[in-house]
Structure 1
Amino acid sequence: MFDHKAYLQKNDSMTFDEAVEIYNSIFKILECNDEYLHELWKEVIDSALVYSNMRVSWNYFSREEKHEKDNLRTSYHNTFMINLKAFHKLSEQLKLDGNWIKKLGSSENRKRWGDFAGYILCIADSKIKLDN
């Protein structure tokens, strides 16, 4: 059972408000009409979907399934992180504000980055519904 209060007490936790702040900073970057930047963002979203799906499914896997799929889960997480870093690098090359990545924290904090993948999907879905 997930305990949100206990989660927020952990050093690597991310509040919804923190995630929204980071996402909004990224969304401002997406005002840029650079086609490749938007392609990279789509790759970030796609990899967040794949990783988050695995992460949710993980809770229902047997011990054997977890052992079998652990490398795949790590690969999905790595892909999300690589895509997000590539998006950040291009935004900096385009002279756009890349300070959001500092708020996300070091990529060594894999758990926090993985949590952000889920938050991106939640926030992006809400934004799409609000905009329509």
Structure 2
Amino acid sequence: MFDYNIYLQKNDSMSFEEALEIYNAIFNILECKDEYLHELWKEVIDSAIVYSNMRTNWNYFSREEKQEKDKLRTSYHNTFMINLKAFHKLAEQLELDTSWTEKLGSSEDRKRWGDFAGYILCFENIRAR
């Protein structure tokens, strides 16, 4: 069983509301019609899908499977983070509001960034209705 309230008590947690605030700030940036910015966002989405899929499956892997796939999971996480950083960097170059990164926190807080990948997919899924 998953208890969201217990999760929120962790130092590196991210609430639904925090994630939604960051996501909406990113969508304000996407009002910019720069094609490359939109391509980078698509790469963020694609890498969030790959990483979140692995992260979800992690719950069902045996100990052996986890050992076998741990480096690949880390690689997927790194790819998501690299893509999000590239998106941020271009937004900065375009002089767009990038204050959302402060709310996301340091990239050294990998769990928080990984949680955000899952939230992105949640919001994208609901937005697609």
TM-based fold match above 0.5: yes
- Tell me which residue corresponds to 1:88: 88
Compute the displacement of 1:110 (Å).
Answer: 0.2
Q: Does 1:69 align with 2:69?
A: yes
Task: Give runs of aligned pairs for residues 1-132 of structure 1, distance below 5 A.
Answer: 1-129=1-129
Give the aligned residue type for 1:105: G
Task: Flag structure 2 segments of 5+ consecutive residues without an equivalent.
Answer: none
Any idea what the Cα deviations from partners look like across 1:79-119, whole Å, max 9, x if unmatched?
00000000000000000000000000000000000000000
Report runs of 4+ in structure 1 exceeding 4 Å deviation: none
RMSD: 0.6
Between the two proteins, what is the percent identity of the paired residues? 78
Taking the aligned partners of 1:76 and 1:98, their CA distance within structure 2 comes to 24
Give the aligned residue type for 1:100: W
Any idea what the Cα deviations from partners look like across 1:12-34, whole Å, max 9, x if unmatched?
00000000000000000001110
Taking the aligned partners of 2:93 and 2:127, their CA distance within structure 1 comes to 27
User: Per the alignment, in what secondary structure is the counterpart of residue 26 of structure 2?
Assistant: helix
User: Per the alignment, in what secondary structure is the counterpart of residue 128 of structure 2?
Assistant: helix
* TM-score calculated relative to the size of structure 2: 0.98
Any idea what the Cα deviations from partners look like across 1:48-104, whole Å, max 9, x if unmatched?
000000000001000000000000000000000000000000000000000000000
Task: Flag structure 1 segments of 5+ consecutive residues without an equivalent.
Answer: none
